[in-house]
Amino acid sequence: MKPINSFFVAFLFILLSVCSVAQTKYEPSAENKKNREWFQDARFGLFIHWGVYSVLGDGEWVMNNQQIPIKVYEKIPAFFNPTAFDAKAWVQMAKAAGMKYITITSKHHDGFAMWDSKVSDYNIVKKTPYGQDVLKMLADECHKEGIKLFFYHSQLDWHHPDYFPRGNTGGSWTGRAESGDWYKYLDYMDAQLSELLTNYGEIAGIWFDGMWDKKDADWRLNKTYSLIHKLQPGALVGSNHHVAPYDGEDFQMFEKDLPGHNTTGFAPEQKIGDLPKETCETINYSWGFNLKDDGHKSRKELIQYLVKAAGYGANFLLNIGPMPNGKIQPEHIEKLKQMGEWLTANGETIYGTRGGPLTARDWGVTTQKGNKVYIHVLDWTDESLTLPSWGKKIKSAKLFSDKSTVKFIENEFGITLKIPKAKMDETDTIVELELK
Ligand code: JFZ
């Protein structure tokens, strides 16, 4: 090769790599970084799956599971009339549960918009007798009450004709023509997201879901994520794609599992990144309202899930599926109340903490804030418990519940705590360690 040519090639190579880095590398705004800290401090949020599907009382996947064609499913909005919906009551319930934010479905896989969308008539204002924009009502109430609001938004769409080629779900039973313009669908999605990020005040973030339906498609994430960050630089973007975070995302989520676990089998390859984390879970087995599902988790299970999530340095997003009348199942109201009571007493060991110095153990987890480490003993019967040393000396140890002194020995085997049996709490016995 002549020298001029190799110089030219080298120059071209450098130019190309600079351009591609400049194009893809996302740098969060100062506001966004601040919100990531807020998000981690918050630790507990309310997930709401609510759509016209609630009318059928068979979960949010009912359209797919019962293979209801679009033409038939389109009859359902006429029955959706949640006259008992009370945004104030929902927000008060979340607050009393100790939750700091709400993530609600703006559009689920059925493609129905729960707000006053101008780019599609397939929405709550146009198609239901209720005729009101519930997202607006909820957003206003959240802003008034200092609760942050995220929108869950399904990228997968069983209704839109341009969601084509189809993915693994929403197949021929939907009755759509076997044609469509994929990029037109993505434009439509961006237009709907623009509405949500323009007309509803400050939005804490967008919780995407559905990419797994078409794993190999060009989802044009860069364009959509940039749009969101342009409209609201502070908004946090996350996606339930079950793999490591993509460029442009601000938090990482884990569905029905603690980070690094894969009991569901949804996420065999999910790597844990450095972004703030969140795990979501249902109270019974369903996300959307399910009339027959009474497999509600116990108070102890739910509190321990929250505590474990915090020990893993993750938020807990706990779901409810409101009923078609706008009310929340009494069993779920009761569970949230119990969580709130527990957090009123013990929130100091959860809010504003980060995952503690020890990773999760069979007996429980640790959380940390400043020079305080909280040992959450979730499953232990003996009076003495030895922790491996993490290289810090202990100044004092006390029971968080009644502030009574906890005896401890530090030696070459680690730190041994003595927790009197009578003081053990079957949900969570918390020992507060002050570090030197
Ligand atoms: C998804 C939704 O499908 C579901 O309706 C709910 O909204 C939940 C929070 O998120 O759940 C999924 C998504 C993907 C898989 C399983 C459940 N998957 O790929 O196996």
pLDDT in tens, 199-223: 999 999 999 999 999 999 999 999 9
**104 CA distance to ligand 1 centroid (A)?**
15
Amino acid found at 287: W
321-360 pLDDT, tens per residue?
Answer: 999 999 999 999 999 999 999 999 999 999 999 999 999 9
> To test the ligand 1 pocket, which listed residue (213, 253, 255) has its Cβ within 8 A of the most ligand atoms?
255
**428 CA distance to ligand 1 centroid (A)?**
30
Residues 6+ apart with CB under 8 A from 432: 349, 372, 373, 374, 375, 397, 398, 399, 400
Q: Which residues line ligand 1 (CB under 6 A)?
A: 49, 60-61, 209, 212, 240, 255, 266, 280, 287
CATH number for the segment(s) 364-435: 2.60.40.1180
Domain 29-352 in this protein, CATH class: alpha beta
Does pTM surpass 0.85?
yes
SS3 content of the chain, % helix, strand, coil (to 5): 35, 20, 45
The residue whose CA is least distant from atom 10 of ligand 1 is 209
The residue whose CA is least distant from atom 16 of ligand 1 is 266
Residue with tokens 């993915």: 167
271-299 pLDDT, tens per residue?
Answer: 788 999 999 999 999 999 999 999 999 99
Per-residue confidence band for 24, with pLDDT thresholds at 50, 70 and 90 = low
- pLDDT at residue 138 is higher than 90: yes
Residue with tokens 């497999």: 295
54-84 pLDDT, tens per residue?
Answer: 999 999 999 999 999 999 999 999 999 999 9
**262 CA distance to ligand 1 centroid (A)?**
14
**15 CA distance to ligand 1 centroid (A)?**
41
Per-residue confidence band for 10, with pLDDT thresholds at 50, 70 and 90 = low
**101 CA distance to ligand 1 centroid (A)?**
21
- The Cα–Cα gap between 219 and 211 comes to 8
- The Cα–Cα gap between 436 and 430 comes to 19
**419 CA distance to ligand 1 centroid (A)?**
41
Share of the chain above pLDDT 90, in %: 89
- pLDDT at residue 21 is higher than 50: no
Nearest ligand 1 atom to the CA of 280 is 9
pLDDT for res 14: 47
- The Cα–Cα gap between 362 and 198 comes to 46
**85 CA distance to ligand 1 centroid (A)?**
26
Nearest ligand 1 atom to the CA of 60 is 5
Indicate the average pLDDT of the chain. 94
390-433 pLDDT, tens per residue?
Answer: 999 999 999 999 999 999 999 999 999 999 999 999 999 999 99
> To test the ligand 1 pocket, which listed residue (240, 293, 319) has its Cβ within 8 A of the most ligand atoms?
240
Identify the helix (H) or strand (E) that includes residue 105.
strand 101-107
Nearest ligand 1 atom to the CA of 47 is 9
Query: What residue spans define the domains of the chain?
Result: 29-352, 364-435
